[in-house]
Amino acid sequence: MAILINEQTLTFTLQTRSTSYQMAVDEHGVLLHTYYGASIDPEDDLRELIVRSDMGFSGNPPEAGSDRTYSLDTLPQELPSSGVGDYREDMIRLRHADGSMAADFRFESWEVLPAAQPIPGLPALYGDEQEPGETLILTLKEKASSVKVKLYYGIFEKENVITRSAVILGGGTAPVQLEKALSCCLDFQHEELDMIYFSGRHAMERTLRRVPVGFARTEIGSIRGTSSHQLNPGVILCTPGADEEHGLCWGMLFVYSGCFTAAVQKGQRCGTRAVMGIHPDWFSFTLEPGEQFCTPQVILSCSDQGLGALSRQYHDVIREHLCRGAWKHAQRPVLINNWEATYFDFDEEKILSLGRQAAGLGIEMLVLDDGWFGKRDGDTSGLGDWVVNEKKMGGSIGQLAAKLHGMGLKFGIWFEPEMISEDSDLFRAHPDWAIRIPGREPNRGRCQLVLDMSRKEIRDYLLDRISAVLEESQADYVKWDMNRSVCDLYSSALPAERSGELFHRYMLGVYELLERLLQRFPDLLLEGCSGGGGRFDAGMLYYSPQIWCSDNADAINRLQIQYGTSFFYPVSAMGAHVAVVPGFRERRSVPLKTRADVAMSGSFGYELDLSKLDKEDLEQIPGQIALFKQCYALTHEGDYYRLCMNDRMSAWGFAAKDRTSAMVTVVMTEAEANPLPVYLPLRGLDPDKRYRCSLTGTIRSGRSWERAGLALPQTPGQYESLVITFEQTED
Ligand code: GLA
């Protein structure tokens, strides 16, 4: 049993393999948070950790009478009240019919379900036969109204994961206005903490940032309608000394692809509160009596073994309980994408000759990117007209795909379903389908407008069009792109008082369309994309097991991007391609081998004009594909270790779950004259097994390899890389 309940004291302890999360209901029905960390004995009640003292100046609720030590403003809570004397971050803000704004929730009942629970309309971790998960539901009632909240706690024991989400239920006879509806609050009582988050920009996503948590509120978030290039919806809190292998750390990962907030702040008594959920700006939702609002899920995980172990817990739970479908574990095809090979400048012959050359080298799928449909020879027109441009493609999409299939290639195709160009037949027929405010000139992003995905007729149109293309072409793969942020919020389908619902209804619409598409094409491999990695989040991974990591395919920049991405997301989720050098952004040349070594720590492919490669480079490609396949079980299913990231080099490794093999990739980023030797740490080996190193040929025990490390016989030069494998041997 992962959920232990003391019915007398109303203490709830959630046990995972090596962590515990405890809550307790106090004498006034407030649901307190007492502990989250390395395992404790579940019969031990830790509410005594909460030390009270006179808080007369912070305010005391009426039940406290003259006890000035009882204050909502200092108690660690699971569902912090708002408007009634807790002045810290709140989770739920209500505007009642009379205009009052109090939300004061008290415990009512509990229920345990023997499985992970889906969230209607939203992505969420799911259970399976091996690990069905368990769920604790705590119902709290608002003190003076009929609004209730059900807090959901899902437990995935093996991966040390606890999920949180909430269902808010309208009651009584009048509607209530939700002004804020976050998913999770984590109250720490005394720990000094650092906060790690991942910031960036287009083509340079997810750079790690680490700041001490202080009394000034630190918030990351997005109000762009997507999770964004700028800030990823994941936060790690950790003890200040925590590193890859040591220290306590806690992760909060949002399973949502739209606007979000994550805020952390120390309170007056030095306890830290962290909250996460849908961004309250540009959000409100009307709940009629009997209606419910489901918040998206937050995946919590904790490790006392440092950041590396925390990341591996996220990788495991994402691969096993978030990614779904035929491609969950199946080997993803090595692809060639024509975008950086041709941009918009292609015709049938160019695509076929790229396909021919790719097939000859052992590449398995051609992805036809932007420009195959409508009037689309640049980015100012055509979006929405999902009908092949027969003139450009020399015939129907079915004919083109058949020719590629005839070469032994799978066929993949690009869509940007959520968008509409003003210069398109779709816009001419349905100008009101675009999100824009009547009477105002709309703002454009990449010259395009956004479709109102909250509207069913628009989603139906898209499903019909996409399905027709997929059926005709027998496509195996879709790249689902989304190339601008959303603004000018207005939907002609929503009454004025519900206009604050659009951002969330947009996301619900996108998820619904993705779900229907996958139901119709269960074998389809989806790759998410948003100007590269602008919507790289756990929400999308429920539908697309891989996401194009960044429009920046420069191998050296990719080290940083893939490193930052790896803190939450597994390598199997990261679309990574070998691109041309010098790239137009950073104008640097990196050897083809290094480009491939970096990209194969991802869902691997090529995105360049193969006809422009010299013979020597071309000859390397079959070997690269073979190496990717040889290491696939390690990179896509194994344990991942960040080994080294400094000004001189970057190194990371993988170990098989059964510890029979491991690999390390190292890339030199800064060469120097008379170079110092490179000593690489190794991780993930069984101390008692013996392994042969592919580089040196030497055999040592896992213990010796891990403790002594590997000395590279020769220091690689600038931008050179090595992939070194370790195979178990009986020798
Ligand atoms: C986005 C994607 C690219 C490519 C282009 C096509 O920028 O990230 O990979 O598909 O759109 O317009």
692-to-18, 640, 660, 703, 705 alpha-carbon distances in Å: 32, 20, 11, 13, 10
Three-state secondary structure call for residue 623: helix
| CA 397 to ligand 1 center in whole angstroms | 20
Strands 546-548 and 574-579 come out as parallel
Pairing status of strand 419-420 against strand 525-528: unpaired
Mutate to test the pocket of ligand 1, among 381, 482, 550, 551 (most ligand atoms within 8 A of CB): 551
Atom of ligand 1 nearest to the CA of 551: 8
Which residues are registered as beta bridge partners of 235? 252
Question: Roughly what angle, to the nearest 10 degrees, separates helices 615-637 and 348-361?
Answer: 70
Among 668, 724, 666, 677, smallest CA distance to 698 is for: 724
Of the listed 481, 537, 554, 686, which one is catalytic?
Answer: 481
HEC readout, 413-453: EEECCCEECCECHHHHHCHHHECCCCCCCCCCECCEEEECC
Structure token pair of residue 535: 């919507």
Residue 725: how many CB atoms within 10 A of its CB?
18
* Best residue for ligand 1 mutational test, from 202, 370, 448, 526 (most atoms within 8 Å of Cβ): 370
Q: Is the pTM of this model over 0.85?
A: yes
CA of 480 to the centre of ligand 1 (A): 10
- At 556, which helix (H) or strand (E)? helix 555-565
- Quote the CA–CA distance of 152 and 147 in Å, as a whole number: 16
What was the pLDDT predicted at 57? Answer: 87
Q: Whose CA is nearest to atom 2 of ligand 1?
A: 531
Strand (E) or helix (H) holding 183: strand 176-188
Closest ligand 1 atom to residue 414 Cα is: 10
Quote the pLDDT of residue 350: 98
Q: Ligand 1, closest atom to CA 379?
A: 12
Cα–Cα distance between 455 and 464 in angstroms, integer? 15
In three state form, how does the secondary structure of 452-502 look?
CCCCHHHHHHHHHHHHHHHHHHCCCEEEECCCCCCCCCCCCCCCHHHHHHH
What contacts 505, CB < 8 A, 6 or more positions away?
453, 454, 491, 494
Please state, in angstroms and rounded to a whole number, the distance separating the CA atoms of residues 315 and 323.
Answer: 11
Query: Which residue has its alpha carbon closest to ligand 1 atom 1?
Result: 531
Q: How far is the CA of 418 from the centre of ligand 1 (A)?
A: 14
CA of 119 to the centre of ligand 1 (A): 31
Ligand 1 centroid, distance to 79 Cα (angstroms)? 41
Query: Do the beta carbons of residue 298 and residue 276 sit within 8 Å?
Result: yes
Per-residue pLDDT, 581: 97
Chain position carrying tokens 């007492």: 34
* Atom of ligand 1 minimally distant from the CA of 530: 8
* DSSP symbols for 559-589: HHHHHHHTTTS-GGGEEEEEE-SS-TTT---
pLDDT value, residue 475: 98
Q: How many CB atoms lie within 10 A of CB 718?
A: 13
For residue 531, the CA-to-ligand 1 centroid distance in Å is 6
Query: Which residue CA neighbors atom 11 of ligand 1 most closely?
Result: 531
Beta-carbon count within 10 A of 521 CB: 19
537 noted as active-site residue: no
Residue 677 CB-density burial (10 A; 0-12 exposed, 13-18 middle, 19+ buried): exposed
**In testing the pocket of ligand 1, which one of 335, 340, 414 has its CB within 8 Å of the most ligand atoms?**
414
Give the C-alpha distances (Å, rounded to integers) separating 19 from 249, 301, 454, 603: 11, 9, 40, 32
Ligand 1 centroid–CA 339 distance in Å is: 7
3: which 2 tokens? 């959920």
CA of 550 relative to ligand 1 center, distance in Å: 10
Work out whether strand 410-415 and strand 419-420 pair parallel, antiparallel, or are unpaired.
Answer: unpaired
**Active-site annotation holds for 551:** yes
Q: Residue 370 Cα, ligand 1 centroid: separation in angstroms?
A: 7
From 335, 340, 481, 484, mutation site for ligand 1 pocket: most ligand atoms within 8 A of C-beta: 481
Q: Which amino acid residue places its CA nearest to atom 7 of ligand 1? A: 531
Query: Which of ligand 1's atoms lies nearest the C-alpha of 369?
Result: 10
What's the pLDDT score for residue 502? 98
What are the tokens at 302? 């904790």
Asked whether 256 and 503 are in contact (CB, 8 A), the reply is: no
Closest C-alpha among 381, 325, 689 to residue 518: 325
If you measure from the C-alpha of residue 620 to the centroid of ligand 1, how many angstroms do you get, rounded to a whole number?
27
For the record, the structure tokens of 56 come out as 């007369």
Ligand 1: which residues within 6 Å by Cβ? 339, 369-370, 414, 481, 483, 529, 531-532, 548, 551
Ligand 1 centroid distance, CA of 415 (Å): 10
Query: Closest Cα partner for 527 from 554, 545, 512?
Result: 545
649-655 and 690-693 strand pairing: unpaired
Q: Whose CA is nearest to atom 12 of ligand 1?
A: 370
pLDDT of residue 1: 72
Among 336, 479, 483, 552, the mutation site with the greatest number of ligand 1 atoms within 8 A of its Cβ is 483
Which candidate in 86, 187, 551, 597 is catalytic? 551
**Which residues in the chain show pLDDT less than 70?**
none
- DSSP, residue by residue, 582-622: S-TTT-----HHHHHHHHTSSEEEEES-GGGS-HHHHHHHH
Question: Taking the alpha carbons of 383, 387, 391, 392 in that order, is the dihedral positive or negative?
Answer: positive
- CA dist 281 and 343 (Å) reads 37
Q: What is the DSSP letter of 230?
A: S
Q: Report which ligand 1 atom has the smallest distance to the Cα of 607.
A: 9
